[in-house]
Amino acid sequence: MPQTKKNIERIEMELLLEAIFRRWGYDFRQYAPASLKRRLEHRMRRAEMTQLSEMLPKILHDEEFFNQLLGDLSITVTEMFRDPHFYAAFRKQVVPVLRTYPFIKIWHAGCATGEEVYSMAVLLHEEGLYDRAQIYGTDYNNHSLEIAKQGVYPLDSMQTFTANYQAAGGKASFADYYLARYGSAKIAGFLKENVTFAHHNLAADGPFGEMNVVVCRNVLIYFDQDLQDSVLTLFRDSLCHRGYLCLGTKETLDFSAVGNEFETVAGKERVFRALQPASVATAGGHRP
């Protein structure tokens, strides 16, 4: 049966993704195909290969090659106070509710190298809530998690981070939150005290229990609709009563499996809040 070039490439992609999953346990089979293809082709060219399937034996037998490919497949671009308007909205609309809680649990899923997590620590510190908070940062990329745990970033990124911090409504001097030394900036020790980084694969692992807030920004865009639905369901199951869910600016709950279980708190900034289950709402008695 004649096959088009496109069909053959699709078969090659499926074989590669199956091999990655069965050999190494990383499941990219439900990632959005267009960006996966771009990244696989990038590694193919770097390895001076002409066909995707030439990578198959390397994936199966060459751990170093696989680790390089894993690096290509994980887009770990991030910043402190990325999309400052999100943090400004969080400060204005979520913090007043968090202030009424004796203890606050926040999960940053897909936290990459940790900048987003430390941004939240700074924000909660400035709002006087950090001492009663526990912040979890998770990712499936162990290399990124190591950088996150160290909290050491290139000094030249501080200029962008400072501008973001100010645009996000920062209340102090951003320089108070890091120590500059030999071209690097080390996050202040107190910002690590209530922060825990851990490995978690959104495509394979279970919920994190009883979170007041789940932040997962710029991760779902890489997933197909089925995987987005299963991850959003995982977030719903990880949130406590009336918990908040924060997504990236290009991500939405529209047409998702849990869309009708959340209300919108800040539309442009993608902040949502779990609705009361219907049975609870009619019985009354819960705080708003």
Ligand X SMILES: C[S@@+](CC[C@H](N)C(=O)[O-])C[C@H]1O[C@@H](n2cnc3c(N)ncnc32)[C@H](O)[C@@H]1O
Q: How far is the CB of 230 from ligand X (least distance, A)?
A: 11
Could you tell me if 223 and 242 are in contact, meaning their C-beta atoms sit under 8 angstroms apart? no
Q: How far is the CB of 30 from ligand X (least distance, A)?
A: 9
Q: Between 74 and 256, name the residue whose CB sits nearer to ligand X.
A: 74
Q: Between 87 and 140, name the residue whose CB sits nearer to ligand X.
A: 140
In sequence order, what DSSP letters do the residues of 250-283 get, joined into one string? Answer: T---TTSTTGGGEEEEETTTTEEEEPPPHHHHHH
Q: How far is the CB of 240 from ligand X (least distance, A)?
A: 21
Contacts with 43 (C-beta within 8 Å, 6 or more apart), sequence order? 55, 68, 69, 72
Q: Between 171 and 250, name the residue whose CB sits nearer to ligand X.
A: 250
Task: Tell which residue, 259, 151, 158, has the closest CA to residue 195.
Answer: 151
Q: How far is the CB of 8 from ligand X (least distance, A)?
A: 27
Q: Give the pairing type, strands 211-216 and 239-247.
A: parallel
Q: Is 37 buried (19+), middle (13-18) or exposed (0-12) by CB count in 10 A?
A: middle
Structure tokens at 263: 């209300």
Q: How far is the CB of 48 from ligand X (least distance, A)?
A: 26
Q: How far is the CB of 216 from ligand X (least distance, A)?
A: 7
Q: How far is the CB of 74 from ligand X (least distance, A)?
A: 4
Beta bridge partners of 223: 31
Polymer length in residues for the chain:
288
Could you tell me if 68 and 43 are in contact, meaning their C-beta atoms sit under 8 angstroms apart? yes
Q: What are phi and psi for residue 243, nearest 5 degrees?
A: -70, 165
Q: How far is the CB of 157 from ligand X (least distance, A)?
A: 13
Q: Between 55 and 70, name the residue whose CB sits nearer to ligand X.
A: 70
E-strand stretches of the chain:
104-109, 133-139, 152-154, 178-181, 184-187, 195-199, 211-216, 239-247, 262-266, 271-274
- Give the residues lining the site for ligand X (CB under 6 A): 74-78, 82, 110-112, 116, 139-141, 144, 201-203, 217-219, 222, 248
User: Tokens 């209340």 correspond to what residue?
Assistant: 171
Q: Between 49 and 167, name the residue whose CB sits nearer to ligand X.
A: 167
Q: Between 49 and 221, name the residue whose CB sits nearer to ligand X.
A: 221
Q: Between 19 and 109, name the residue whose CB sits nearer to ligand X.
A: 109
Q: Between 110 and 243, name the residue whose CB sits nearer to ligand X.
A: 110
- The strand order across the sheet containing 262-266 reads 195-199, 133-139, 104-109, 211-216, 239-247, 271-274, 262-266
